[in-house]
């Protein structure tokens, strides 16, 4: 039986690079490889949890194509349950091409595909009630999600004592916290990055972002800031945490790896400072190789790394 259910974005990622620069028009750059990996928030978090020894199921949509076959093969390799992954006729499997350019942020070419078909109706209450934690990855990038039905699902989880963790992908032009207000009180841990939090709150300072989301009803909120660390709040207290320094090859998937660390910490009953240290170690480990999950720590590796490399967590007063 799974302890965690991960629902949401499922994507086939193709990684190009790292490149010294984008090729000029009309020219060709020869690469040794263009690795293809499972991606998308839900897929990444599920695989990362499995690498930490946690039994996990996936729920989402893929097409009826070779990309779907490749994703399902990858999930099986990691012992991730896929009985709730639906193969749909009307859309291809979602795909992303990720361009890795030295010294620059990543560039993405994306096909939304079968993620358009995912709805709350595909998540059964019987399945939910068997879980310890339910995670939804990619809110706002899943057009089939009806907020009223999601609110009802989160309320059911609260009644069934199933912890909930939600992160978001904010499309261009999305803004304002109004759409979240009905959901935030029902979410146990809300995990935007600072750009996403800015879109919701209109604020650039991460401490102000956390305060605004808490004022809007968030229970535990963690705003991740990439190499600058994270800011978090729970029960009227706020903390700031640094970030581990790694030899970064590709930062793709580091936020999802961080989220997987938060979920394991939630299952362990750790306080928020310990959660931030452990999740930061898991998140940083994802950056050591091209792809979203290949280099992610096991639980033992993350715990040992966090002990050997103390990370300062400071309460903000």
pLDDT in tens, 202-221: 999 999 999 999 999 999 99
Which stretches within the chain are classed as H helix? 41-51, 66-77, 125-129, 147-159, 194-201, 206-215, 254-268, 272-285, 299-308
Domain span at residue 222 reads: 4-9+41-59+120-316
Residue 86, in any domain of the structure: no
pLDDT digits (tens, 9 = 90+) for 279-306: 999 999 998 887 789 899 999 999 999 9
Q: Are 165 and 259 in contact (CB under 8 A)?
A: yes
- Is residue 309 over pLDDT 80? yes
Report the chain's mean pLDDT, rounded to a whole number.
93
Instruction: Give the per-residue pLDDT at 39.
Output: 93
Q: Is residue 98 part of a domain?
A: no
- How much is the pLDDT for 108? 87
Judge whether 14 lies within some domain. Answer: no
Residue 305 is assigned to a structural domain of this protein: yes
CATH of the domain at 190: 3.40.1190.20
Assess contact for 116 and 91: CB atoms under 8 A: yes
Report yes or no on 175 lying in a domain: yes
Per-residue b or e along 159-198, where b marks 16 or more CB atoms closer than 10 Å to that residue's CB: eeebbbbbbbbbeeeeeebeebeebbebbbbbbbbbebbb
As a whole number, mean pLDDT of residues 20-42 equals 90
pLDDT computed for residue 170 by the predictor:
84
Question: What average pLDDT score do residues 192-197 get?
Answer: 95
Instruction: Please indicate, yes or no, if residue 25 is contained in any of the structural domains.
Output: no
pLDDT at site 174:
66
The answer as to whether 193 is a domain residue is yes
In a domain, 74, yes or no: no
pLDDT category of residue 146 using cuts at 50, 70 and 90 = very high
The per-residue b/e assignment along 47-70, b for 16 or more CB within 10 angstroms, e otherwise, is: bbbbbbebebbbbbbbbebebbeb
Q: What is the β-pairing status of strands 133-139 and 163-168?
A: parallel
Tell me which residue has tokens 């300072």.
Answer: 205
Q: Return the bridge partners of 37, or none.
A: 13
- How many domains is the chain built from? 1
pLDDT in tens, 225-238: 998 999 999 999 99
pTM of the model: 0.94
């Amino acid at each position: 039986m799974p302890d965690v259910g991960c629902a949401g974005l499922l994507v086939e990622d193709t990684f190009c690079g790292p490149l010294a620069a984008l090729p000029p028009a009309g020219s060709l750059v020869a690469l040794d490889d263009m690795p293809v990996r499972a991606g998308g928030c839900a897929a990444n978090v599920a695989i990362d949890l499995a690498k930490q020894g946690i039994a996990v199921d996936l729920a989402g949509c893929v097409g009826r194509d070779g990309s779907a076959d490749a994703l399902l093969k990858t999930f099986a390799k990691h012992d991730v349950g896929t009985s709730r992954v639906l193969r749909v006729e009307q859309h291809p499997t979602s795909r992303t091409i990720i361009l890795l350019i030295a010294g620059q942020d990543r560039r993405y070419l994306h096909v939304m595909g079968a993620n358009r078909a995912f709805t709350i109706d595909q998540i059964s209450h019987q399945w939910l009630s068997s879980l310890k934690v339910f995670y939804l990855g990619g809110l706002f990038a899943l057009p089939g999600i009806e907020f009223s039905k999601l609110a009802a699902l989160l309320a059911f989880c609260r009644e069934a004592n199933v912890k909930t963790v939600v992160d978001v992908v904010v499309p261009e032009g999305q803004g304002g916290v109004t759409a979240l207000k009905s959901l935030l009180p029902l979410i146990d841990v809300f995990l935007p990055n600072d750009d996403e939090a800015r879109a919701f709150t209109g604020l650039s300072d991460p401490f102000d972002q956390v305060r605004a989301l808490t004022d809007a009803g968030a229970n535990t909120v963690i705003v991740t800031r990439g190499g600058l660390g994270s800011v978090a709040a729970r029960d009227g207290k706020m903390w700031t945490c640094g970030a581990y320094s790694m030899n970064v090859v590709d930062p793709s998937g580091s936020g999802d790896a961080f989220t997987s660390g938060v979920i394991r910490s939630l299952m362990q009953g750790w306080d928020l400072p310990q959660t931030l240290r452990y999740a930061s170690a898991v998140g940083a480990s994802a950056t050591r190789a091209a792809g979203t999950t290949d280099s992610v720590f096991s639980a033992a590796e993350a715990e040992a790394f966090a002990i050997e490399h103390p990370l300062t967590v400071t309460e903000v007063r």
